[in-house]
Amino acid sequence: LFQNIPLAEPDKIFHLTATYVQDKFPQKVNLGVGAYRDNDGNPWILPVVRKAEQIIINDPNTNHEYLQITGLPTFRTASAKLILGVDSPAIKENRVSTCQSISGTGANHLGFLFLSRFYRKDVPVLISNPTWVNHKDIVRSVGLEFREYAYYNPKTNGLDIDGFLEALNDAPNGSIVLLHACAHNPTGVDPSQEQWCKIADVIGAKNHFPFFDCAYQGFASGDLDKDAWAVRHFVQRGFELLICQSYSKNFGLYGQRAGCLTVVSKNADAAIKIESQLARLQRAEISNPPAYGARIVSLVLNDPQLHAEWVEDLRTMSYRIIEMRKQLYDKLIELRTPGTWNHILEQIGMFSYTGLRTSQVKVLIQKYHIYLTDNGRISMAGLSTKNIDYFAKSLDDVVRN
Ligand code: PLP
Ligand code: TYF
């Protein structure tokens, strides 16, 4: 029956990790997958998460019953507050619908599925060029079409704002625009606040629908409000929009699949209807979402003391990454590596888009056992004080040859 179906390509990033794991070279470095590592190269369980886990395990009321279809209510309310702000008028006006999801990926899927049923099918989803590897597949999987907008300028290693605005203008009115709320994956290039205002102007003028993917709130800058600025700006301007939240990076809960989909609409009546339809879609997909990660997040977000400890943990992660950017930059300057490297300092979040060509990436992998995606993206979290010299020297070598 199935002997003639084509073999599907493996996910590039997961495939890269598998190759790295098999590599026996002692100095090997993994700059592939976007997962935080401490300075010893190990996964890091946030101290606040450890603490929350203990509280949950020791609570005699903890059980393994199903959650509601739309998830844990205290988790959902806290998620909406986290991204929209505690004083958000949209929350006060009851025009926010939420649904717990299978992390950020599931929020994207449910969000696009919802739009494919209740928005329009005749407009494309506009996605940045480049974007997170999974976006195209998720959009396709619900039967929507996508079109790319200019985003990254390889000449400046920065944002191509003119190309971006032009693409928004050229797209059919009412298109869905997928935006990275902060810490753009894979480039690490974000619009400035001034540029966000221009983007919002065009999206408003064209009657486009903003779809925010927020996978790095607090992880990007160490400041939860700063990383939510763009989303809140759009809400303040009165847009109806959708937000996908992931707790993979900012809570280090990668495998627990904790996330949330939030829809901001015009009024409370619409919000109730939206939530009812999200529940219906969710029921057919997963019945109800996983409880463990959501319990941890809910406990931390709703307790002022734990919340403060979480912010400390976020700073530990984001400041270490910022420190690695500085050290890498300094070393490349010291080595007089040809080219300009300011972008390593300017880009934010988990990733840096180095500007390396695919052929140079190949040499890094094959000769130096340094693993990164073929678009030249490096996960800054894979760097540490122990391997940064080796990486800088290897990078210097491939750029010269
Ligand atoms: N969206 C973006 C832009 C991402 O970078 C990621 C991965 O980190 C995700 C969504 C979803 O990740 P997860 O499903 O682990 O929350
Ligand atoms: O871009 C990354 O490395 C992270 C992790 O299918 C990831 O976002 C990568 C691929 C994927 C899911 C998550």
Q: Which residue has the least CA distance to atom 7 on ligand 1?
A: 215
Does residue 315 share a domain with residue 293?
no
Single residue among 248, 272, 302 that ends a domain in this structure: 302
What is the average pLDDT score of the chain? 97
Cα 223–Cα 214–Cα 150 angle in degrees, nearest 5: 110
CATH number at residue 189: 3.40.640.10
Nearest ligand, CA of residue 184?
Answer: 1
Instruction: Give the ligand 2 atom nearest the CA of 105.
Output: 12
Q: Which residue has the least CA distance to atom 11 on ligand 1?
A: 104
pLDDT tens readout for residues 238-283: 999 999 999 999 999 999 999 999 999 999 999 999 999 999 999 9
| Gap from CA of 215 to ligand 1 centroid (Å) | 5
Instruction: Identify the pLDDT of residue 224.
Output: 97
Nearest ligand, CA of residue 33?
Answer: 2
Number of domains, the chain = 2
Nearest ligand, CA of residue 256?
Answer: 1
CATH number at residue 345: 3.90.1150.10
Instruction: Identify the pLDDT of residue 401.
Output: 87
Instruction: Identify the pLDDT of residue 121.
Output: 85
Q: Is residue 126 part of a domain?
A: yes
Q: Is residue 199 part of a domain?
A: yes
Does residue 79 share a domain with residue 26?
no
Cα–Cα separations (whole angstroms), residue 241 to 96, 106, 150, 157, 391 = 10, 17, 22, 29, 41
Sheet holding 125-129, edge to edge: 96-102, 258-264, 241-246, 209-214, 176-180, 125-129, 146-150
Catalytic residues: 132, 213, 249
Token pair of 164, please?
């971006």
| Gap from CA of 203 to ligand 1 centroid (Å) | 24
Q: Is residue 65 part of a domain?
A: no
Does residue 323 share a domain with residue 238?
no
Place of tokens 């390889």: 154
Coil, strand or helix at 267: coil
Instruction: Identify the pLDDT of residue 129.
Output: 97
Instruction: Give the ligand 2 atom nearest the CA of 33.
Output: 3
Q: Quick check: CB of 103 below 6 Å from ligand 1? A: yes
Instruction: Give the ligand 1 atom nearest the CA of 184.
Output: 3
Does residue 344 share a domain with residue 277?
no
Instruction: Identify the pLDDT of residue 265.
Output: 98
Does residue 180 share a domain with residue 32?
no
pTM (2 d.p.): 0.97
Q: Give dist(CA 13, CA 134) in Å, integer.
A: 10
Does residue 333 share a domain with residue 212?
no
Does residue 216 share a domain with residue 128?
yes
Single residue among 271, 302, 333 that ends a domain in this structure: 302
Q: Which residue has the least CA distance to atom 12 on ligand 2?
A: 134
What range does the domain containing 257 cover?
73-302
Coil, strand or helix at 258: strand
* pLDDT band, residue 331 (cuts 50/70/90): very high
Does residue 363 share a domain with residue 271?
no
Does residue 334 share a domain with residue 292?
no
| pLDDT over threshold 90, residue 217 | yes
Does residue 127 share a domain with residue 104?
yes
Does the interface ipTM go beyond 0.90? yes
